[in-house]
Structure 1
Amino acid sequence: MDVLDKKILDMLKINARESFATIGKEVGLSAPAIGKRVRQMEDEGIIEGYALKVNHEKLGIETKAYITLVIHREQRATPGVQKRIQAMEEVQSCDRITGDDCLCVLGYFRNNKHLISFLEKIGEYGTSKTSIILEV
């Protein structure tokens, strides 16, 4: 991977749908040369995929929160707690973490009442701490 590949990646991070022609003008290569480099980065696993960015407020999401969870000792022996939480519709990500907490969940909620309902639902797995996201 060279400096041009890094510039291409930087542009794709900003807009994954940017045309190869536009990227090529910026870095001084032809569109086919950009396409070849992008395909090579995909084949090498450097580019793993492309994501969709959604305006959640327009979909009625008013509350976003990070929730850390200390899983109850008796639940720790139960396989799949993380997968069950990850499968909940509100959960955007669910990561195992180090420290006193076991999981860190990013959740999107219609409102605070919906958040409270979610916290009650995951309460069967452990004790949670919630930080509401004020601004991204």
Structure 2
Amino acid sequence: MDNIDQTILSELQKNSKISMKDLAEIVHLSSPAVIERVRKLEDNHTIEGYHASVSLQKLDRNIMALILFESKDCKALASFCHNHPDVLECYRVAGEISYIAKVATHSVESLEIFIDEAMEYGSPSTNIVLSSHVKKVISSYTDEI
């Protein structure tokens, strides 16, 4: 992956709806060359998809929580989280806890219902998100750290 591919990825993360013509101008290549590079990035799964960023507040999901689980049954908890409409993300982690679920729900009451239902699969520890100060896209790709 060269600097042009890195710039293409950075620009697509900022605006996945950018025209190939505008992207070509940014990276100083022809539109067909940029289209071919984007296709290769899609084919090798560097680009996994294109998504809309949706306002949770507009969907009346004003309560965000990170719930840490000491799981009794990892597969059952993962399945529960996968199928629950309030779970945005669920991570299997190493350490004292086994899972972290990111939940966006309508109310404290619906959060309580989620926690009650999840207790069958493990011991939860709930952390309500007050605000978010960092939300990034990857803007620099490098082999060096």
Length, aligned pairs only? 132
Aligned to 2:29: 29
Is 1:96 aligned with 2:95? no
Q: Is the 8 A contact 2:80 2:118 kept in 1?
A: no
CA RMSD across the alignment: 1.3
Higher mean alpha-carbon deviation, 2-11 vs 14-23, is at: 14-23
Instruction: State the structure with bigger RCO (CA 8 A, min sep 6), 1 or 2.
Output: 2
User: If the length of structure 1 is used for normalisation, what is the TM-score?
Assistant: 0.91
Alignment of 1:28-107 (within 5 A): 28-72=28-72, 75=73, 79-107=75-103
Give the C-alpha shift of residue 52 in structure 1.
1.7
CA deviation map 1:24-48 (0-9, x unaligned): 1111112221111000111112111
Give the percent of matched residue pairs that are identical in Structure 1 and Structure 2: 30
C-alpha separation in 2, matches of 1:37 and 1:92: 31
Aligned to 1:14: 14
User: If the length of structure 2 is used for normalisation, what is the TM-score?
Assistant: 0.85
C-alpha separation in 1, matches of 2:11 and 2:107: 35
Q: In structure 2, the residue corresponding to 1:108 is in which secondary structure?
A: strand
Shift >6 Å, 4+ stretches: none
**Which of 109, 117, 127 is the aligned partner of 2:123?**
127
User: Is there any run of 5+ residues in structure 2 with no aligned partner, and where?
Assistant: 133-145
In proportion to residue count, which structure has more helix?
A: 1
